[in-house]
Amino acid sequence: MRKKIAVIGDKESVLGYRAVGFHTYESEGPAPDRQLIDRLAKDEYGVIFITEQALSPITDVLDKYKDEKIPAIIPIPSKDGTLGLGIKNVKSSVERAVGADILFKDE
């Protein structure tokens, strides 16, 4: 079964994703975004990309879904740039899987 892909963020940041066929949603704030992610997860979206700016007030949502097969929630930079949440997420996942920080030891 094919899974759907969603992108959540400000209008300017998600507009280009619509052109390649992803379902796009404008961020409406922390509570509505959290509800939207829960709704998309129940609707069997396989991947949810969310801009770091939209994700920053609701990072606990990553913990909620980290052990689920779907959806994969992937932080992406917005038109305004990155906040570093994506790298932090990768670092945390690697540490959890390997048991040590093997990627960013010097930072």
Query: Which fold, 4-81?
Result: Rossmann fold (3.40.50)
pLDDT 10s digits, 11-50: 999 999 998 999 999 999 999 999 999 999 999 899 999 9
Domain ranges (residues) in the chain: 4-81
* Dihedral in degrees, nearest 10, Cα atoms 54, 33, 27, 7: 80
**Phi and psi at residue 39, to the nearest 5°:** -65, -45
Is pLDDT at 57 greater than 90 in this prediction?
yes
pLDDT 10s digits, 60-70: 998 898 888 88
Is pLDDT at 55 greater than 80 in this prediction?
yes
What pTM was computed for the model?
A: 0.78
